[in-house]
């Protein structure tokens, strides 16, 4: 028995959700699950196919990105996860995928515009796309710089990571997070669906207008904040 067994199991189950939801193929993507009290997170091992994963393969890493337990190498994106956990104290899980439509928007280096109420139910504005890395950043510690790229985007745009739990990294792919693995996985699936809807909408009508402020406010506040009334 290990004190990390709980987050290992949670990380396994969350990672297995990615292919189940059609968010990854082959070995693309990863999920990590953090235990703040232990000061550690469990993350998918690098390059292992989802069909081969087992709980004891999940690698335990501290908040600085150092391996604590595990015989396999952690995901190559480990330092990105570590930087986000260090920077944003209220997230408990992180999901990184290369899901098709969200990644296409990232490669186009475009925010996903808020075109409809499905989007507004989750984010009360465009889903941000961070600028691509400079050559200097790419030549440095690439994965660490990716974490900085994400947090800098939120700082520059004055966004709250607790309200916007999804984003795109320009020329790369999406990252999502949440208070726990279930919410982070949900956000990753929702982001892909919002990206797909936006793609189809702009194919049908390239001049589709953004959602009205009234509808944005109505749909976001009925699910979030003190006046929320959606659900039980």
Query: pLDDT digit string (tens) for 140-198?
Result: 999 999 999 999 999 999 999 999 999 999 999 999 999 999 999 999 999 999 999 99
Residue at 160 is within a domain: yes
Residue at 171 is within a domain: yes
Q: Note down the domain range covering 119.
A: 5-221
Number of independent structural domains in the chain: 1
Q: Note down pLDDT in tens along the chain; length 232 residues.
A: 899 999 999 999 999 999 999 999 999 999 999 999 999 999 999 999 999 999 999 999 999 999 999 999 999 999 999 999 999 999 999 999 999 999 999 999 999 999 999 999 999 999 999 999 999 999 999 999 999 999 999 999 999 999 999 999 999 999 999 999 999 999 999 999 999 999 999 999 999 999 999 999 999 999 999 989 998 8
Residue at 121 is within a domain: yes
pLDDT reported for residue 56: 96
pTM over 0.95: yes
Strand ranges for 13-110 from DSSP E: 30-35, 40-43, 59-62, 67-69, 93-96
User: Among 174, 202, 39, 34, which Cα is nearest to 96's?
Assistant: 174
Residue at 232 is within a domain: no
Catalytic residues: 121, 230
CB atoms within 10 A of CB 200: 12
Helices marked H in 55-141: 78-87, 100-107, 117-120, 135-139
Q: Is 128 left (phi over 0), alpha (psi -120 to 50) or beta?
A: beta
Q: Which helix (H) or strand (E) holds 146?
A: helix 142-157
The CATH number of whichever domain residue 167 belongs to comes to 3.40.225.10
Distance of CA 6 to the CA centre of its chain: 21
Residue at 229 is within a domain: no
Phi, psi at 112, each rounded to 5°? -90, 115
Residue at 26 is within a domain: yes
Distances in Å between the Cα of 202 and the Cα atoms of 53, 112, 128, 135 are: 38, 11, 18, 32
CB 40 within 8 A of CB 4: yes
Question: What does the CA dihedral 55, 61, 66, 69 come to, rounded to 10 degrees?
Answer: -40
**Residue in the structure block whose two tokens are 């944003």:** 88
186: which 2 tokens?
């949900």
Residue at 154 is within a domain: yes
Residue at 65 is within a domain: yes
């Amino acid at each position: 028995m290990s004190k990390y067994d709980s987050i290992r199991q949670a990380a396994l189950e969350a990672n297995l959700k990615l292919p189940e939801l059609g968010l990854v193929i082959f070995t693309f993507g990863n999920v990590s699950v953090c235990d703040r009290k232990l000061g550690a997170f469990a993350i998918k091992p690098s390059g292992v196919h989802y069909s081969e994963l087992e709980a004891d393969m999940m690698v335990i890493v501290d908040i600085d990105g150092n391996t604590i337990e595990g015989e396999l190498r952690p995901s190559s994106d480990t330092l990105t996860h570590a930087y986000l956990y260090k920077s944003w104290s209220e997230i408990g899980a992180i999901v990184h995928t290369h899901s098709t439509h969200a990644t296409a928007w990232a490669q186009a280096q475009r925010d996903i515009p808020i075109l409809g109420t499905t989007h507004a139910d989750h984010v009360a504005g465009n889903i941000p796309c961070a600028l691509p890395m400079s050559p200097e950043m790419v030549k440095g510690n690439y994965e660490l710089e990716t974490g900085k790229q994400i947090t800098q985007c939120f700082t520059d745009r004055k966004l709250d990571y607790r309200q916007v739990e999804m984003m795109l990294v320009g020329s790369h792919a999406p990252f999502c997070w949440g208070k726990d693995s279930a919410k982070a996985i949900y956000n990753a699936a929702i982001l892909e669906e919002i990206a797909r809807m936006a793609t189809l909408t702009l194919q049908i009508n390239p001049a589709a207008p953004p959602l009205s402020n009234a509808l944005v406010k109505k749909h976001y506040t009925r699910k979030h904040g003190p006046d929320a009334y959606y659900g039980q």
